[in-house]
Homo-oligomer: A and B are copies of this chain.
Amino acid sequence: MKCRVCKAPALAKFPAHNAAFCKEHFDAFFLRQIAQTIKRYQMLPGEARVVVALSGGKDSLVTALALRRLGYRVEGLFIDLGISEGDFSPASRRACEEFCAAQGVPLRVIGLKEEFGRTLPDIARRYPRPCAICGVTKRRLMNEYTLSSGAAALATGHTLDDLVAALFANLLRWDLHYLAKGLPVLPAEPGFARKIKPLAFQSEDEISTFARLHSINPVEALCPYATKAKFRRYKEVFNALEERSPGLKRAFYLGYTRNARRFRENTARPLLAACRACGFPAAAPVCTVCRVWREVPKEPPAFSL
């Protein structure tokens, strides 16, 4: 197995691209693919400042590294959930800190404890679905930080496999709201920062290879609350199909991006109004973050002195 470019012994084969590469040319190929994704979807202007949401996992660290190497001014953002079980939050934070120190990337850490006086486990004791609250909370803090930082966009490490699994899940349910939102870029709207997914066309095996190549040490610990069994199952389905038809995942997702406008529907969700407490867009009078973390009551007090 030889490198497609230089014919040296190849590092690995990438059937989706019908190619094998040596270290050097895989690195160049991987970055070129991301540059193409950024260009095709007009994600970022050259040398823009971009906030990368870091979890400590390989996908988000690779996102930061790739963007930095493509000449963007990257800032890392880590949300410390305060999950000490299995050393999850501390280990995740360390992975981010080590990566950022090694790569010279500034890192901003926002801790739930510091922000709201409580951690995710504090909340998980009272709410049956902590993962949903965690997702809303992280998205809000990342969005708020990106808006206040003046950066061009918030980048997340969603991979081709993530997006294909989510697309499939939403197609199974024909959830029009989410079907319209699975695009590689979501433009800024009032109250929402621009969101980009630079790894939207990179599969997880490519990302793992790139991470190993650059000695990235992602966190090994798993979130003790993690479930997502369905998601994992959908990824397995598509990996099995991809094995028989290399390139299937990319073609499926690319076709989706060309047809996503078909799923736009004005009436799909209630219009967002400003949260009574924090002013951010919310589907209810009080947003989930204020309700759960700041204990703002759903209804205003009946009278006040």
Contact = CB atoms under 8 A, between A and B. Distances in A.
A237 interface: yes
A125 interface: no
For this chain, the copies found in one complex come to 2
A248 B172 contact: yes
A255 interface: yes
B233 A174 contact: no
Given A171-B171, A174-B256, A262-B262, A244 B233 contact: yes
Contacts of A263: 262
Contacts of A176: 259
A258 interface: yes
Nearest to A263: B262
Nearest to A229: B244
Interface in A232-277: 233, 237, 240-241, 244-245, 248, 251-252, 255-256, 258-259, 262-263
Nearest to A259: B174
A252 B173 CA distance: 6
Interface string A57-86: 000000000000000000000000000000
Q: Closest 8 CB pairs between A and B? A: A174-B255, A262-B262, A172-B252, A174-B259, A237-B237, A171-B171, A172-B248, A173-B255
